[in-house]
Structure 1
Amino acid sequence: METFIILSEKSWHKPLFESLKKNLSEYHWVLIDEKDQFSFDELEELKPGKIFIPHWSYIIPASIYEKFECVVFHETDLPYGRGGSPIQNLIARGLNHTKITALKAGKGLDTGPIYLKKDLNLNGTTKEIFLRCSEIIEEMIEEIIQEGMEPVPQKGDVVEFKRRKPEDGNLNDLSETGKVYDFIRMLDCEGYPPAYIENENFRFEFTRASLKSEKEIIADVRIIKK
């Protein structure tokens, strides 16, 4: 029985794992969701056919991606959008749609050959987008396995993204209501520092934004005394 691994530390990928295990029961599925579990020795014992990586915040060692076929899922239409914080960078640029790209991990950041791409809508909070991603990624994994896809080199103009920093969520300098709304929703997800404004006494962090009009947003706010 061939073994496939799902590698992700995010809680919303556990249902993805369970669904694959149920729908593709002819294979052996293993979920790795902790950094300590992801080791060369552990993988040598499992001997996976492929390692599917919906989300992983850590560097994948060359010893692993050179030995095992690692399939990364990146939320841009590569080679456009290589680099960190893809969803946040796309929304900050005013984009409403993108692609999820399945690519083979290698030495360069998001430079590997591509298996396939699927459309992704960028409406809603980042958490909602990730949940939408998970459903699409499941379809992509099934397609890669069942059709025996081989990746092909990337083509097109390269655009690189920089990983966004917590201070990039500062709303102080924004003047458009739509931009404020986008900044709040694109950081509204567990594990991400929320959009904020601050003064000398308090920090105001915003989540659950709703755009009511060109001049009005309703949102939850957490007020923190400095």
Structure 2
Amino acid sequence: MTKIVFMGTPQFAVPSLQMLLTEGYTVAAVVTQPDRPVGRKRVLTPTPVKQAALDNGITTVWQPEKLRTSETIEHIRELAPDLIVTAAYGQILPKALLDIPRQGCINVHGSLLPGYRGGAPIQRSIMNGEPKTGVTIMYMAEGMDTGDMISRVEVPITDADNAGTLFDKLSTEGAELLRRTLPELLAGSVQAEAQDETLATYAPNLKREDERLDWTRSTRELFNQVRGLVPFSGAFTTWNEEVFKVWATAVPVTSDADTSITAKLDAVPGTVLTVSEDGIEVKTGDASIWLTEVQPAGKKAMSVRDFVRGGKMTPGTVLL
């Protein structure tokens, strides 16, 4: 029976872990990030992978703060797994760990490698307006997602997708791809393909500045930016010198009969053009965009229909 160590942290990794258990593989241990405070009350909360492991009776769960300098590597060496499977674990695996399993270490990565290597491939694929993405299963190497590719599957990105829906799609597709790939891998019959380094692009973890809306950008770029940040951090601008978060937008449909189009084009980007229960129309670098779900400072997220009942934002307001 193949002995596997599974390494992962967020919900993205849970379907892959569940698949291994459902298919009868022996998951001897799970490695995940430490428990973190969550929510306004900062309640210490286990990672989704840890919770899934415990729910399935896996009691050997290691949570090193820094894998490279922890005792976890020695614990795994003593366990002598045949294979290590990772999915969005969150740390680069050192060579000392990569060398342990006799059938290698593989990773379920949420992009079509060699594109979008790194920690935020799903969010950045949406933010960059990609028409498709996918999942790649690869052998792990010392670099950042540089290992030879074993299998992959493509997934289209639609305008209805945000980071949350795409995470769900790719986590499901990744688990299924892993299910199909493992028998050939364990039988030694896979033919891995080296990545073309000339095609490599990177998707670094998101920072605070990635969340700020720059109204001089195009409507489509802003639309994609917001979708790529939902439902996690959301995007933000400032209104009355306070953070004003944006959770959903829509691209307006205009026609030649729109008599206000000239005035709209002359407005400074960030200017509020229209305020109604249908949305807040804001001037962009090339047209305008409708904000449909927002969150004023100190408030919960709300539909624009609820927000405008307060009557505090008016046309001519400039968001910064």
Task: Give the Å deviation of 1:194.
Answer: 2.5
Q: What is the CA–CA distance in structure 2 between the aligned matches of 1:4 and 1:222, rounded to whole Å? A: 47
Tell which structure's C-alpha radius of gyration is larger. 2
Q: In 2 relative to 1, CA 43–189 (structure 1 residues): closer, same or farther, beyond 3 Å?
A: farther
What secondary structure does 1:79 align onto?
coil
Q: In 2 relative to 1, CA 46–174 (structure 1 residues): closer, same or farther, beyond 3 Å?
A: farther
Q: Which moved more, 1:63-72 or 1:13-22?
A: 13-22
What TM-score do you get using the length of structure 1 for normalisation?
0.83
Match of 1:147 in 2: 184
Match of 1:46 in 2: 79
Q: What is the CA–CA distance in structure 2 between the aligned matches of 1:41 and 1:160, rounded to whole Å? A: 34
1:112 has 2:147 as partner = yes
Match of 1:138 in 2: 175
What secondary structure does 1:223 align onto?
coil
> Which protein has greater RCO, CA pairs closer than 8 Å, 6+ apart?
1
Alignment-mate amino acid for residue 113 of structure 1:
D
Q: In 2 relative to 1, CA 53–122 (structure 1 residues): closer, same or farther, beyond 3 Å?
A: farther
Structure 2 matches for 1:178-189, cutoff 5 A?
178-189=220-231
Q: Is the CA contact 2:236–2:245 (under 8 Å) kept in the aligned structure 1?
A: yes
Q: Is the CA contact 1:66–1:106 (under 8 Å) kept in the aligned structure 2?
A: no
Task: Give the Å deviation of 1:150.
Answer: 4.5
What TM-score do you get using the length of structure 2 for normalisation?
0.61
1:129 has 2:169 as partner = no
Match of 1:5 in 2: 5
In the alignment, structure 1 segments of 5+ residues that lack a partner are: none
203, 214, 221: which one aligns with 2:243: 203
The one-character-per-residue Cα deviations of 1:154-205 (angstroms, maximum 9, x if unpaired) are 2363232251422022113344333222111211144xx3211125631122
Q: What is the CA–CA distance in structure 2 between the aligned matches of 1:157 and 1:177, rounded to whole Å? A: 31
Q: What is the CA–CA distance in structure 2 between the aligned matches of 1:143 and 1:46, rounded to whole Å? A: 26
Task: Give the Å deviation of 1:90.
Answer: 2.1
In the alignment, structure 2 segments of 5+ residues that lack a partner are: 35-62, 254-288, 300-320
Q: Is the CA contact 2:213–2:236 (under 8 Å) kept in the aligned structure 1?
A: yes
Task: Give the Å deviation of 1:82.
Answer: 3.0
Structure 1 runs, 4 residues or longer, greater than 4 Å off: none
Alignment-mate amino acid for residue 198 of structure 2:
D
What secondary structure does 2:198 align onto?
coil
What secondary structure does 1:141 align onto?
helix
